[in-house]
Structure 1
C-alpha cells in the first residue's frame, strides 16, 4: 500500500484565458514583487484575485524566476498541514510532471521541514534568482496553525523569498511591522475594483461593445467594480435582446450574482445544465470523475464546452486535466440541485467516494462518504484504506476528526478503529481516555451488540489486544510491573493476524525485556519486529525497533553495532519526519550517548541539545529521548564547570515531570539531583534530595519491578554515595560491587564499568584493580565510563554560603548579604528572575525583593548599572565568574 499522494491540481497556476483583461496598474507589480518580503491580496469572492496572481506567476516565470503555487483547500486542512502542501508545491519546481507523495509529520514539525527546504531554495546564496511562493484562497484554511506557519516563514528572514498570500479576508499576520520596514505590498478590494476606464476596456475586449462614459460609470457604480459582476454582466449583455444596461440592478451582491447566473443557466442546453448541477458536489473535477458521478459518458467534451464558453470554470494544468468551478457559481448550482433533486445528493457523493478509492485517493473518498451520510461506508474506508497512513505517517488529527463524526454504533462495529484511537491517546499520554475506551471494548465483547459480534466477523483477538494496549500504557507511563503483567496475559500463540497487532506486541515486549535486563530477548524480539515493520513500510516502527537495538548495543559496549543501527534509524527518521520531531529526537539522544562514550563531548552536547528541541511535541514517546539528553547534559556541564546551566536544565525537566505526573521521570531525576549534590559535596542539598527520593521509593517499588535497572541501578549508586558520606548505613563497596556483578551477569558492560568507576572514586582500590579497570574500559573502546562518573567542580564561592569571605569590602560595606550576592552573580550571568528563583530555590517575589534591596544599597536604578558597578570590584577581589 502506498502513501496517499497530493494531486498537483492545487499547485499549478491557472492558464491565462483569452478574455482576460490586462490591467497594467496591477499586472506590472510582477516586476516589483522582489522588493517585498510579503504581498497580501485580500478581497471578496470574484474580485479577480486568482487571475491577477496567475498573471504575476506567468510573468515571473517568463523572466526565469521560480514560482511555487498553492491554491488552498479546506479539505486538505483535514489531513495535511499547510507546510506539507507548500512543500509539495516547492517539490514540483524540481519535478513538474510528477506527483509527490505526502509522507510528513504534523503541526510544527512540518514547519521545520519546510524552513529547511526554504533555506536551500531562498537562502543567502548569490545570484539574481528569487523564489516567489503564491498562496491562493488562504481564507479556506486560515487558522492558528496555518497563520503560525506563515509567520515562521516570514520570521526566518530569507533574503531571496517573496511570500504572496491571497484570500477573502485580511490574514492575521504582523502586517504593520512589515509595512513600517517597507517590506509589504497590500492590495485590497479597493485596488482590485475596475475603474470606469477599465470597465470600458473590459467590455470592448470581451464582447466587442463600446460603452459610453455614462454607461461605464453606472455599471462601475452598480457593481462597485466587482470583477465577477462585470463578467456576469458581459455574458448577459452579449445575449440577444439584452437591455440590461438601460437600468441599474438593485439588491445585494449575492442576489445580483444569483440573478445573472439564473439567466445564464436558463439559456443553456438541458444536458449541460444537468451536468453542471450534478458535478457541483465536487470541489475539483476531471472528465473521469464526472463520468462516474453523473453516470454518463462524454464529460470531457462538456467540460471543454464549459471552459470554452467561460462559464466560471478554471482549468488546472498538470498530468491530469483538473477543473474547478468558481466558488459562487458552484454554490448557486448546489442550491439548484438541492431544490430540484435533494434525494440525489447522497448517491452523487457515494459515486464520488467510490471513484476516489479507485484512484487511490482515500482521504477524498472518506470525505464524500461522510457527505453521502454513509458513516458505515466511511468507517469501512478508514479501516480498509487509511490505517497505513495513520500509523506510518502520524495522521492523528485527521483520524480523530473522523472518529468524532462517526456515530457510536459505527465505531463499535469496527474495534480496530477503537484500538487505533487508544493508541493515539497513549501517544499523547492521555492514559485515562485510553483506558475508558478499553473498558468499553472489554465490556462490549461479551454483549450481543456489534462489539460482541466483531471477533466472529474479523477474527480479532479483542482480549489480547486490550492487554497489548494496557502493556503499552504501562511501558509509556512507566508502570513496568503492569506492562509485564499484561504481556504475560497474552496467550503464547500471540495475537490475530490483523494489521499492527503481533508486530506491536513484539516491539513492546522487546522494550520491557530491555528494561528488565534481558538484552538477548530484547534484541531477538526487536529484530523480528524490525523485519515486519520494514516489510510494511511502517517508518515509526522501523525507527523504534532500531533504537531499541541501539540501546542494547550501547550498554553491551558494542559501539560499532550501535553506530550502525543508530545511523540507519536517523536516516529513516530524517527522510520521513521533521528535524524537531520525536522520531528524530530519539536516535539523536542515543547518538549523543554514543559520542559521549567515545569521548566526543562537543558532538554529544550538540546531539543532545538537538534531541531536546522536540520537548514540546505532542508525542512524548519513549522516555529515553528525554532522560538520556537531560542526565547526559547535566553531567557534561558539571564536568566542564557549567554549574548554572546544569542546575537550570535539571530543575526545568524535573518540574515538567511533576506537572505531567510522570512518576518515572520525576523519580529518576530526583535520584539524579541527590546524586549530583553528593558528587559536588553539597551535603545539605544531598540530605534534602535523598529524603525526597526515599519518600518516593515505596510508590516506585509498586510500579518498577526489581529488575528495572534504569531505575534501580542509579538508585543503588545514590545509596552507595550516601553511605560513603555518612548519610546512610551500609557498605558502599558491597553495594557497588553487587550492582556491577548484576550488570555483568546480564551482559550490560557499560553499566558494569560505570559502577566499578564509581567504586574506584569512593573507596581506595589497589593499583592492580585500577589498572584492570582502565584496561577493561579501553578494551571495549570507551573513553569514559557511562554515564560520566566524575565529580563536578566545587560551586564558585560567589554563589554559595561561603560568599561572606569572598565579598569585596565595598560590597560588604554597602550591606550586601550573601544571598543578595548570589542574586547579583546570577544577574551578571544574564539569568532572568524566574531562572534565578529556580537556581536558588526561592519564589519570584523573593527574587524581586532581593533585587530592590540590591538596587537601593548600591544606589543604582537597574540591572545594567548594578553589573557595571560590581564587575571591577569582583576582578579586584579575584571572585569567580558564574558560567
Structure 2
C-alpha cells in the first residue's frame, strides 16, 4: 500500500504581494548555488520561508519544495515525500523508489537513497530541492539520510535547508570544502532601512524615524516581532508611547503582542483562532468540524470556516496559504505555538479541564481526517487526544493495518510511549507492537511482546475479538518460523491462527495461508503448497495486498519449476518482476534466482549469470535472509559450467562462511553439493568423497562413486534415492536421478537398460527444454546420446542437445560432473581418473580378471573401461593403447 500524499506539503509559497525586496540576500543565495548546501538557520519569525519563496519565484532553476513536519521522522514517509517533491519537476522520477518502499522486509535507507540518487543523475537540468522547517526532524536516521544525499549529491542538484536550529549534519566538512552557504539570524534581521519600508508602505503605518529605529532596536530586527508590533500599533493613537513600553525577551514580547492582536478581534474570531490552533493544516470543512458545536456549547460561529480563513488571510493574521485555490492554510509556526499556549490558559481559567477540551478538539479533527481517507493524520490526532480505542481502531484499519500503509514509525513511537498498564488493558496493542517490530525486522523483541499479549489475554473473556487476537499471535509466530524454515512450527501456528482469526481479517488470514504454503513446500508436499499459494493469491488480489500477491506468485513459480515446467515457471517469474516494479523491490530477488536456474538448465549461461547477479544484488537489500547465499550457490554452478573453477570455489568458500556466521543452516547442504562438483571438476576425488559423506548428500555421493569407477555402489545409491523421490512425487529430483542412472548403467555395460532409461528421461525433460542436465554428465552422456540418436529417438530434441557437447569441447571446458584428465594433444579425448588407473594396470601387464580383482570391480566393468579407453585413444588393442598413452605422456 502506498503512503497518501498531502500535496500542500509540496506547494511553494508564493511571494507576498507587498514584500521588502532583499536583493543582497537573493544575491547571496544565487552565489551559493556553486556548492552543495545552502543553510538558512534562524529562530521563528525571521522570514526564512518568505526569503526562499521569493528567491524560488525568481530563480532560473526548477525548484522542488517540501514543507517538513513531524511525520517526516519516518524514513518511509520522508522518502515518499522526497520523491513526490522531485516529481513536481520530472514526472516519473523516483517511481522505482516508491516500489522499494513497499517491500515486506526492512530496507536499508542507504540502498534506497542510492537508487534515488542514481535516478537523479539522469535529470537533464540543474535544480534546487528545498526542505523547509527541518527543525521538526529529531530522528538520527533522517539526519544520516540527508548527510548521505549531501555526500553523494549529483552535480545538477542543490539542497536548501531552512530551520530554526542547526541540523545534525557534517557542516564543518562542507565549510572546509567551500560547499556550504549560510544565512543566519544576523543576516535576516531587518536593518533600519528595511524596517522603515516594512512598517510604512507595507504595513501602512506613519511613524517617525526615531520610532522606527527604536522599534527595530527593541525587536532586534525580528521580522515577526515587527509584524506583530505593526498589527498592535493600528489600535494605538500614541505610537511613540506604545513603542517605548516594549521591553523583555522575544517570548515576552510575542505573548504581549499576540494578546494585543487577539483583543482587537471579535470573540468569534478569537475563539476560532484558539480552537483551530490544534491543527497543523487548516481548511474550511475541517475547521467547521472542529468547531461543530463549540466546546462546552458556548460557541456558534456566524461564518463558515472557509470565510473566516479568507478573512484571516486578508487581515494578514499570520496565516499562510498552502495551495493556489486558497483551500488549505497553516498558521505561522510561532503564531500557532502562542495560540496553543493561549488556548490552554483560556481553558484553565474558564472550563477548568484543559485535557478534556484539547482531547475533544483533536478527536473531532481525527474524525474529519478519517472520514476523508487520511488515516495517518486521523491517527496522529487520536494519539494527541490519548484516545486509545480510536488509535487501536485506526491502526487496525479496514482491510489493511495502518503500519502497512507508511505509519510504522508513528505507531511504534506511540506504543513505546505507553505504560505497561495501558498496554495490558488493551492486549491488541501488544500484538500490534509485535507486528510492527516484525515489519521493521527487529525480530528479537517480537516473542516477548507476544507473550505479554497472551498474559494480558489470560483473564479476558473469550469472544470474537480475543479469538482474533489469539489467531493474530499465532500468525506472527508462523511468520517468524518462515524466516527459520521451520516447517512443523509454521504449520502448527498457521492452523492455530486460521482456527481463531475472524473471517473478515483477510490481511492476516492471507499472510497465514501463504506461510502454510511455504511450510508444505519445505516438506515436499507440492500439491498442498500449490493449493495454499493459489488461495493466498486469490485473496490478496481481491484486497489489494501487493506483497502477498508477489509472494504467492513466487511460490507458484517455484512449484512449476520443481515440476519441470520450466517455460511456465519462467513466465510466472516474469510476472513477479512486473509486479515488483522497475527498479524492482528486493523481494524480486527470488524471481531473478528462479530465472537464473532456468537459464542455466537451458544452457544460456550468460543470461543465467546476469539473472543470478541481479538476484544477489537485490537480496543484499534485505535483512536476516539467506537469499544471498542461495544466489551465490547458483552463480558458483554457472561459473563452474563456464570453466571458471577458481572463481566458483572462491564464491563457495565465502558463501559457506557467511551461511555459518549467520546460522543459515538450511543453505549448508546446497553449498556442499556445489563444493562436491567443484572438487570433481579439479579431480580431487578423495576430498569430494569426504564432503559428500560429511553432509550425508546421497546424490553427491553417487556422483563421486561414479567418478571413482565404483559403478555398482553409485547405482545402489541411485536406486534407493529413486524409490524415495517417486514416493513423494518429486519430479525434479526424479529427473536428476534418471540422468545419472542412465550413464551409470551404460558405464557398466547395461546398454539396453541404459538406453531405455534415457528414452524415458528425454520424454520427461523435453517439455521443459532441459539441456544442461545432460551436458554436465560429460563424455559418458555424449556417447550415450549418440547411440540413442542412431535409434531415431526424439530426433529434434536430441539433435538440439548434441551440438552443445561439441560447443563444450571447443571451449576446452572440463565438465562439472566428472574430472576429465586432459591429454597433451587436443584431439585426444580426456580420460577419467578411473580410466587412467585401469590404463596403468594394463601397462603393467595385468589381465582383465586381475584388474577386476585388484580394483574390486566386476569383470564386465573392466571390459567396459577398456572399450572406452580404446575409443578415446583411437586404438583397437592393449599394446596400441599403452604405446599411444606413452606417446602423449599419459604414462
| Deviations, residues 207-233 of structure 1 (Å, cap 9, x unaligned) | 345766665555444433322222223
Counterpart position of 1:375: 388
* Partner-residue secondary structure (3-state), 1:70: strand
> Contact conserved, 2:207 with 2:239, CA < 8 A, in 1?
no
Offset at 1:633? 1.5
8 Å CA contact retained: 1:461, 1:496: no
Instruction: State the match for 1:275 in structure 2.
Output: 272
Distance 1:760 1:640, change over 3 A: farther
Contact 2:595 2:611 in 1 (8 A): yes
Q: Deviations over 1:507-533 (max 9, x none)?
A: 122212222222232222211210100
Alignment of 1:699-710 (within 5 A): none
Unmatched runs of 5 consecutive residues or more in structure 1: 695-714, 795-883
Counterpart in the other structure of 1:262: 259
Aligned position for 1:732: 714
1:793 Cα deviation from its structure 2 partner: 11
Aligned to 1:782: 770
TM-score, length of structure 1 as denominator length:
0.76
Measured in 1, the distance between the counterparts of 2:381 and 2:542 equals 31
Deviation at 1:276, TM superposition (A): 1.1
TM-score (norm 2): 0.75
Once the two structures are TM-superposed, the CA of residue 434 in structure 1 deviates from its matched residue by 3.4
How far apart in 2 are the matches of 1:400 and 1:670?
42
Task: Please list the CA deviations of residues 337-388 of structure 1 after superposition, one character each: whole Å capped at 9, or x if unmatched.
Answer: 1122114111111111111111111111111112112112211221234834
**Alpha-carbon distance in 2 for matches of 1:318, 1:738:** 77
Cα distance in 2 for residues equivalent to 1:189 and 1:755: 78
- Match for residue 563 of structure 1? 570
SS in 1 for 2:87: helix
Q: Give yes or no for the alignment of 1:77 onto 2:77.
A: no
Q: Which position in structure 2 is the counterpart of 1:606?
A: 610
Is 2:648–2:678's contact at 8 Å kept on the other side of the alignment? no
1:191-590 aligned at under 5 Å gives the runs 191-209=187-205, 217-240=213-236, 241-243=238-240, 247=244, 249-295=246-292, 296-297=300-301, 298-317=304-323, 321-341=327-347, 342=354, 343-385=356-398, 387-391=400-404, 393=405, 395-408=407-420, 411=423, 418-426=430-438, 433-442=445-454, 445=457, 447-449=458-460, 453=461, 455-458=462-465, 460=467, 465-487=472-494, 496-574=503-581, 579=584, 581-590=585-594
Question: Once the 2 structures are TM-superposed, how far is the Cα of residue 24 of structure 1 from its aligned partner?
Answer: 0.9
- The CA deviation at 1:693 is 4.1
For residue 37 of structure 1, report the CA deviation from its aligned partner: 3.5
SS, match of residue 593 in structure 2: helix
* Contact 1:589 1:607 survives alignment (8 Å): yes
Q: CA deviation at 1:663?
A: 3.2
Q: What is the number of equivalent residue pairs in this alignment?
A: 754
Q: How does 1:610-689 map to 2 (within 5 A)?
A: 610-615=614-619, 617=621, 619-620=623-624, 623=626, 625-640=627-642, 642=644, 645-647=647-649, 649-666=651-668, 668-669=670-671, 672-673=674-675, 676-677=678-679, 679-682=681-684
Question: Is the CA contact (8 Å cut-off) linking 1:4 and 1:360 kept in structure 2?
Answer: no
| 1:862 match | none
Correspondence for 2:127: 131
Which moved further from structure 2: 558-567 or 220-229?
220-229
Question: Taking structure 1 as reference, are residues 727 and 225 closer, same or farther at Cα in structure 2, changes over 3 Å only?
Answer: farther
- RMSD between aligned residues: 4.0
1:424 to partner: Cα distance:
4.7
Cα offset for 1:7? 1.2
**What's the CA shift string for 1:383-407, capped at 9, x where partnerless?**
234834434x575434333333455
Q: Deviations over 1:252-284 (max 9, x none)?
A: 332232232222223222221111111111111
Q: Highest CA radius of gyration, 1 or 2?
A: 2
Residue 791 (structure 1) aligned with residue 816 (structure 2) = yes
Contact 1:36 1:162 in 2 (8 A): yes
Q: What CA distance in whole angstroms lies between the structure 2 residues aligned with 1:383 and 1:493?
A: 17
- After TM superposition, give the deviation of residue 132 of structure 1 in Å: 2.0
Give me the whole-angstrom Cα distance separating, in 2, the residues matched to 1:758 and 1:224: 89
CA distance change for structure 1 residues 178 and 584 in 2, over 3 Å: closer, same or farther?
A: farther
Judging changes above 3 Å, is the alpha-carbon distance between structure 1 residues 112 and 440 closer, same or farther for their aligned structure 2 residues?
Answer: closer
Distance in 1, matches of 2:569 and 2:774, equals 15
- d(CA) in 2 for partners of 1:140, 1:667: 51
The whole-number CA distance in structure 2 between the counterparts of 1:518 and 1:173 is: 54
Q: Distance in 2 between matches of 1:786 and 1:406?
A: 63
Q: How far 1:569 sits from its partner (Å)?
A: 1.4
- Measured in 1, the distance between the counterparts of 2:633 and 2:538 equals 32
Stretches of structure 2 that go unaligned for 5 or more consecutive residues are 293-299, 348-353, 778-814, 820-891
Deviations for 1:677-708, whole angstroms, at most 9, x for unmatched residues?
Answer: 455445686588568647xxxxxxxxxxxxxx
Call closer, same or farther: CA 1:375–1:88 in 2, change over 3 Å. same
Distance verdict in 2 for CA 1:731–1:71, change over 3 Å: same
1:249 Cα deviation from its structure 2 partner: 4.1
Aligned equivalents of 1:246, 1:494: Cα separation in 2: 69
